[in-house]
Structure formats: C-alpha cells, structure tokens
C-alpha cells in the first residue's frame, strides 16, 4: 500500500507529479504519480548508487528499450522513461490491486479455477516478454498484481540490468530463492525455460499458500531447489501434473509456454465464462477497496510546510508529536518496537508501513476507527479507538517470541537478566567458600568447645541458605520502560530504582556489543541513582548483557524501546551503535 511522500522525496519526475510512495526494490523507489493528462502511473526512480554505474545505465537503457515493445493484456506496460536523466527513471501503467503474495497471505490459497486463470494470464504475459528477447528472472508472487480484468506481470527485465553492477553481481541476488530455477541458483545461463520453472513455483504458492521448496535460510532453500524434489502435497488434481512438469530440474524437460497456456485454458474455461469474475468474492471486494483507497491518496494535495525550528521545550508533552493534526482531524502515531517491519491498517485498509525500530504518523478523520497491524501475515487483534479532533493517539507494537507470535500493543517493555552459567558458577564458588570458611572456624572453635564448633557449622549453613534464598527472591537484573519512566535494579529487590523521564535530561546507549552501557543524565538530584557508576556527567544504569541484551538484535530492540518511551530524552550515539555491530 502507499505511504505519504517524505520531505526528501521529489515532487515531480519528468512531466509526472508524484503523490505517494508505493514501495521499493533492488532498483530504487516506486512512486504513485499522475501524467499531465491525468493518467495514474507508477514512477520508478533508480537509486543514486546505481545511477553512477556506467554499466548499469547502459544495460538499463537496453532493457527499457526492449521492455517498451512488450505488449499484451497481462503486463504493466512501460509507457515512458528517461535513461539519461539524473537519476534515471521509467514509468509503467498503474494497476490498482494487491500483489499475489499479499492476497494469498491475507486470504489463503486460491481455488483451482482461479489459479488456472492466473497461470494462463501469466503465461500469456511471459510469452509477450519473451517475444522481445527478455527473460523476467524474478517472477515471484510479489511481482504479480491482481486486477479486475486478470493478473498483471511487473518488473520484467530489471534483474538483467541489475546484473551488471558490481554489488549485485551474483545470480542469487537477482531473484527470490524460493522461486528461482536450478540454473539460476547455480549462476548458469538462463532462458525462457527459467521463467517456466518460476511460474510453476508461483502457481504452487497460489494454490497451497506455500513455496514448493519450503522456507528458511536462502542457501538452504537454494539447495532444495537444485537437489531435491518439490513438495506438491495439497495441490488440486487438475493442476498437479502441469506444475510438476514446470518444476523439472532440466530446462529441456519443461513444457513451453504454449503448452502451459493450452492446459490452463482448458481448466479455467468455466471460470472465464462466469461473467469475468475470476477472483473469489472476498478478493473482489479487496480490489474495490484498493481502488477507492488509491483514489483518495492520489488526489493532489499541497505539501506540508517545512518544519520550523523547534522552540526550547519547557516540559515533556505526549500530545506534541511532530506535525500535529489539523483542526477537525486527528492522528495515529504507531511505534514499532519489534525487529521486523509492520503494516498499519485503519478500518481494514492498509495505509502504510512502520520500519523496524521506527515510528510513523497517520492522519485521519476524528471519530471511531479500528486499528490493526500486520507483520508478515500475522495480524494483531483489531482494536476500536476513539480519536478526538486535533488529538493524537500513540500506540507502540511489539512481537513476542515464537514463530506464531503476533504484534500487539504494549504499555511497557521489560528486559531481564538470567541465571546463566557464570552466575551459577559464581554461586557455587561462594557457597563453597562459605562452607570452607565455616569448617575452618568450627575446627578452631572445637578446640575450645565442641558445642561451639557445631554452632559455627550451623551458622555457616544458615548464612549460605539465606544468601541463596535472598538472591532468588530478588530475581535477576531487571529494566522496565514505560511512558512515565524507567525502573531498574533487581526485579523484586529493595535496591529497585525508579525515575521519571521528566527528571532526566538525556538517555543513551554507549559502547558496543554485550558491553553496551545504558546511561542516563539526571536533571536533578536522584538519591537512588547516586551509587551508580559515573559516566561523563551521567550514571550507568546497567550493561546490556546484565539485562539479557547481549546479542545485536537484543540491543536493537532495547534501542527501539528507549527511542519510543524516552522520546525527546533519547540521544543517538552513532559511534557506539556501530561498535555494537
């Protein structure tokens, strides 16, 4: 779905006015634009580093020239381009519809007849691409758009242009592992048969919701693509034979596109005659919402004025988010504390994404709205929220542990240490020391009085038990973060410290790796923090490793939580962050 333009985005590319961000890829950023005549288009702008590569420009110009000749009903045609511009750009027809990946992820596998219509359309689109001497090289569900009139194939030829750049000179980069052909995975020469293999993978995904070569690390998937047979369990009988043939390891054993088209047309004929409604009802409804949503987004709007220099803050205010909503409107600010991007849905319509560890602001009409976020197909519980005029609602979302964990709103984030091997060995050493010391004292006491020696042994045992019970009762080191402030120390111990963000002038993470230090700079005297180690005028609350954040991804999660909860008290220490990588 589309995101609003950023301040750094261009307002125009060539003669096209830009209105929103549609996404990005290996080539660059894609914008929703409008031609001078009022046609809606997708404008693809090349990344600056690619634009500086002479080999890329040469190959890109050749691929665009060939792609502009591609016709047919099942592609998004290239309608304009300037390969000599800085940066280079191309324009394709805009197709209002979800990708196949999003449709299957959100609504499940498609019926066999729908898959047949999908495959027939893609086969026809690939045939048009191949007729111009182009091999797609990156056919995958994310490069297939679903429209009312049928599927549309996008991004054909781009992978070949990217192949010339030094930093992408590997065939494994030019496609998605689960949808690549064996010859592409082995960095061998690829031809039209490679796209037939990818087509088989795409159709299997559409029919079952899974790649025929599974998921996991890219290298493991590529090994299965090259060495193992596909998992075709669950494929509808009419499609199984054809998809199996498309997935032959030897390119010579795969059917041609004419044969694929003939077989799929026979399966899809009944659906094709059904008034042209080739998609299930729920996806047809999604298409209608998609079109309406983009119609709203593409309406020309004036750019927001540049931000003025912020005045000195006298007090902390959660309502003073950047870009306060205009009168009679409201805003939702979503923070992403997890380690994967999330997509925000308002009233069931996706309105934009929130990057890892970041936040995004979404303006909306005042009143009641439903809010939900999606992380790779795992959606949070739908919540209905009342938005007051000119008000801002803040919601932070996090994802728990486990493969099926869903993003959910959080009011507090906790980081806890654990009794690992060093702590256990330290405890054993201490207990052994107490026992040895008690034994030595009891031996000396026994020379005076045997009863005194026994009392010394009992006292040593009681002391050891007391120490273990106290340590367990206090719990491991703990750090809690919430809107109001922080708590630190042991989870239940008497040394637990608390501080309000209003009492602090700055918080930062300093250093790198497991030795990263969480440092605060108090704005006034905080007695409970007086015993902490000093650091450049601040106090070291804890080390990352002490609260279970020894690995890089754990430190990044801690950083995201501090950035959200500490808000304007947070100061990024870039040097320390790089040191932690």
- Please give the Cα distance from 514 to 512 (Å, whole number): 7
Torsion of CA 350, 356, 357, 359, to 10 degrees: -30
Active-site annotation holds for 503:
no
Are the CB atoms for 146 and 103 separated by under 8 Å?
yes
- Please give the Cα distance from 419 to 211 (Å, whole number): 41
The per-residue b/e assignment along 469-494, b for 16 or more CB within 10 angstroms, e otherwise, is: eebeebbbbbbbbbeebbbbbbbeee
For 150, 240, 270, 573, the CA distances from 275, given in Å and listed in that order, are: 13, 27, 10, 61
- Please give the Cα distance from 290 to 420 (Å, whole number): 51
| Candidates 7, 82, 106, 138; catalytic one | 138
- Please give the Cα distance from 124 to 150 (Å, whole number): 11
Six-digit token string for 89 = 């750009």
SS3 call for 412: strand
Helix intervals (H) in 313-420: none
For 103, 376, 400, 401, 443, the CA distances from 404, given in Å and listed in that order, are: 19, 11, 9, 8, 60
Does 496 carry a binding-site annotation? no
Q: Give the active site residues.
A: 138
Please give the annotated binding residues, written as ranges. 44
Please give the annotated binding residues for ATP, written as ranges. 44
């Amino acid at each position: 779905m589309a995101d609003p333009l950023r301040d750094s985005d261009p307002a125009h590319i060539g003669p096209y006015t830009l209105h929103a961000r549609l996404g990005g890829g290996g080539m660059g950023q894609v914008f929703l634009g409008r031609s001078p005549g009022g046609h809606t288009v997708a404008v693809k702008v090349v990344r600056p580093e690619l634009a500086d590569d002479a080999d890329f420009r040469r190959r890109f110009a050749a691929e665009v020239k060939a792609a502009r000749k591609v016709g047919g009903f099942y592609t998004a045609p290239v309608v304009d381009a300037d390969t000599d511009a800085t940066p280079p750009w191309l324009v394709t027809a805009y197709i209002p519809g979800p990708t196949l990946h999003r449709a299957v992820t959100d609504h499940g596998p498609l019926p066999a007849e729908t898959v047949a219509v999908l495959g027939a359309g893609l086969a026809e689109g690939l045939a048009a691409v191949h007729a111009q001497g182009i091999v797609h090289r990156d056919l995958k569900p994310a490069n297939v758009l679903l429209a009312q009139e049928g599927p549309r194939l996008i991004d054909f030829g781009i992978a070949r242009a990217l192949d010339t750049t030094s930093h992408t000179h590997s065939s494994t980069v030019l496609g998605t592992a689960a949808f690549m052909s064996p010859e592409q995975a082995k960095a061998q020469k690829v031809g039209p048969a490679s796209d037939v293999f990818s087509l088989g993978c795409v159709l299997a995904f559409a029919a079952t919701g899974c790649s025929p070569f599974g998921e996991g690390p890219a290298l493991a998937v590529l090994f299965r693509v090259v060495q193992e047979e596909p998992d075709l369990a669950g494929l509808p009988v009419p499609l199984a034979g054809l998809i199996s043939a498309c997935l032959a390891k030897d390119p010579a054993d795969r059917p041609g596109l004419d044969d694929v088209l003939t077989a799929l047309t026979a399966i899809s004929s009944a659906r094709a005659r059904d008034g042209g409604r080739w998609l299930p009802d729920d996806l047809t409804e999604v298409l209608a919402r998609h079109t309406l949503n983009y119609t709203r987004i593409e309406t020309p709007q004036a750019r927001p004025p540049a931000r003025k220099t912020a005045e000195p803050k006298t007090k902390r205010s959660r309502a003073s988010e950047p870009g306060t909503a205009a009168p009679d409107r409201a805003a939702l600010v979503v923070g992403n504390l997890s380690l994967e991007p999330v997509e925000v849905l308002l009233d069931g319509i996706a309105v934009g994404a929130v990057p890892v560890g970041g936040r995004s602001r979404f303006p909306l009409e005042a009143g009641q709205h439903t809010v939900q976020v999606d992380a790779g197909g795992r959606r949070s519980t739908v919540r209905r929220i009342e938005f007051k005029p000119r008000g801002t609602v803040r919601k932070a979302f996090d994802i728990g542990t486990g493969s099926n964990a869903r993003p959910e709103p959080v009011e507090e984030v906790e980081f806890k240490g654990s009794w690992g091997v060093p702590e256990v060995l330290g405890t054993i050493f201490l207990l052994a020391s107490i026992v040895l010391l008690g034994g030595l004292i009891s031996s000396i006491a026994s020379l005076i009085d045997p009863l005194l020696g026994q009392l010394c042994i009992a006292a040593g045992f009681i002391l050891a038990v007391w120490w273990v019970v106290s340590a367990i009762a206090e719990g491991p080191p703990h750090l809690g973060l919430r809107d109001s402030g922080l708590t630190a120390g042991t989870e239940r111990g008497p040394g637990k410290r608390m501080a309000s963000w209003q009492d602090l002038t700055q918080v930062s993470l300093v250093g790198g790796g497991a030795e990263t230090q969480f440092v605060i700079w108090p704005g006034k005297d905080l007695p409970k923090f007086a015993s902490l180690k000093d650091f450049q005028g601040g106090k070291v609350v804890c080390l990352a490793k002490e609260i279970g954040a020894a690995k890089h991804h754990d430190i990044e999660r801690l950083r995201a939580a501090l950035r959200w909860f500490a808000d304007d008290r947070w100061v990024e220490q870039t040097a320390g962050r790089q040191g932690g990588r």
